[in-house]
Structure 1
Amino acid sequence: MKARTNVTENQVEALKRDGEVKQVAFSASLLASGSGTLGPFNTHTPLTFRYVITNIGNAYNPNTGFFIAPVRGAYHFEFYIGADGANSHASAVVLVKNGEHICIAYEHQTSGYGSSAKGTTLLLEVGDVVFLRLWVDSRIYDNDNHRSTFSGHLLFTM
């Protein structure tokens, strides 16, 4: 009887740990505080979204800007980019998976403010890395209203 109880307790603990891993969601804004524009740069530049709104499961690292998949599954990502008026530079950000460009959000706002957004669902393996990269010769704007954000969450494991 005691052996059965120990096995059951171990199974319950394993299920709890498994359930914790399946809870993955994050949302972060580009700037930790204040307002400003990053770019343009003469090369593609990884972005680090420093103001963490939510980070359930701690799969997003605000020091590197990397999301690292903790479990195999389908994940949905969305990103919104702020574009302040600039005749000579567009705002363009690419979603990157393991070094491969997946999709881009692009806006060329010559005056005033504009924005662009993109979302996609990816099948990720444990350890796959997803991040955002500022496109060469482009800019991105953020302020205290959190106009530029990067979010993702696990839809289901596989």
Structure 2
Amino acid sequence: MCHYYIIIISLLLLLLLLSDVCIFTVIAFTGPLNCNKWDCNCTFTRQRGCCCAANDMYELENETFMRMKYLWHQIEELAGHVEHCTAAKKIAFKATINPDIAVMIPGTTDHCFGPFNSNVPIPYGIVALNHGNGYNPSLGIFTAPRGGVYVFSFTVYSSVSDGQRLYHKVQLMKDGDLVKDSATQRVILEMEAGCQVYLELVSGRKLCSSLELNIFTGYMLYPLYNSD
């Protein structure tokens, strides 16, 4: 909404400037008005342009209107560019795992996500924030809407057996390549538009108990304008 206020203020300043120009022009004029046989008052009652000064005023009015129209177009175009630049910076998401995806492990009382025979992307299905619509909750994948430097963090929670290490279960992937693996981690990545980031559960591993405490977040730190 800010750019609309900028447009209104700009137009008001323009009108004030034009008003001052007209006033100073009238004050500075010292020559006679040669209206021939017509009085200048007849301009408003009889014939359009009958006064010699009327045509100049009409031309000035038309020129002023055309300039204002051009400036209005330029201001609208500028406002569009500002909106495009600022809107593109609003990229952020936060999602957690839906506990309903957990299933009971046979022979135990544990409700877990996994284990699987291969690495599986983790579907963080409960979305609290998704500015820019870059995050897909069905797949658990974030796709960069535009190039920039992004910050990602994830917190992994699971009940574990004796001797197990949580950081061997989850790893952060960028375009299919391993970036980090840890129970809690924050990374900064330079990404081009279309790059994808997701978390995957390592094959043979599982996440159990209180799955809603598993969090995946990310946001754009700043854009890279030459990468789009």
TM-score over 0.5 (shorter chain): yes
* CA RMSD, 1 decimal: 2.0
Confirm or deny: 8 A CA contact 1:37 1:140 kept in the other structure.
yes
The amino acid across from 1:72 in the alignment is G
Identity rate of aligned residues, in percent? 27
TM-score (norm 1): 0.84
Aligned residue for 1:11? 78
Determine the structure 2 residue equivalent to 1:57. 132
Residue segments in structure 2 that go unaligned for 5+ positions in a row: 1-66, 103-110
2:20 aligns to what?
none
Residue 103 in 1 paired to residue 180 in 2? Answer: yes
Q: 2:192 aligns with which of 107, 125, 133?
A: 125
Q: Is residue 153 of structure 1 aligned with residue 219 of structure 2?
A: yes
- Secondary structure at the aligned position of 2:124 is classed as coil
The alignment status of 1:139 with 2:206, answered yes or no, reads yes
1:109 counterpart residue number = none
Bigger Rg, structure 1 or 2: 2
**Structure 1 runs, 4 residues or longer, greater than 2 Å off:** 32-36, 85-91, 141-144
| Structure 1 gap segments, 5+ residues each | 106-115
Which structure has greater helix proportion?
2
Is 1:28 matched up with 2:95?
yes
TM superposition shift of 1:142 = 5.4
Deviation larger for 135-144 or 35-44: 135-144
Letter in 2 for 1:131: Y
CA distance in 2, matches of 1:142, 1:152: 24
Structure-2 change in CA distance of 1:142 and 1:122 (3 Å): farther
TM-score for both structures, normalised by structure 2: 0.60
| Secondary structure at 2:85 match in 1 | helix
What is the rounded CA distance, in whole Å, between the counterparts of 1:50 and 1:67 in structure 2? Answer: 12
Letter in 2 for 1:95: L
1:18-97 alignment runs, 5 A limit: 18-31=85-98, 36-87=111-162, 90-91=165-166, 92-97=169-174
Query: Residues 82 and 103 (structure 1 numbering): CA distance in 2 closer, same or farther, change over 3 Å?
Result: same
More strand by share: 1
Between the aligned partners of 2:125 and 2:77, the Cα distance in structure 1 is 38
- Deviation, structure 1 residue 30: 1.0
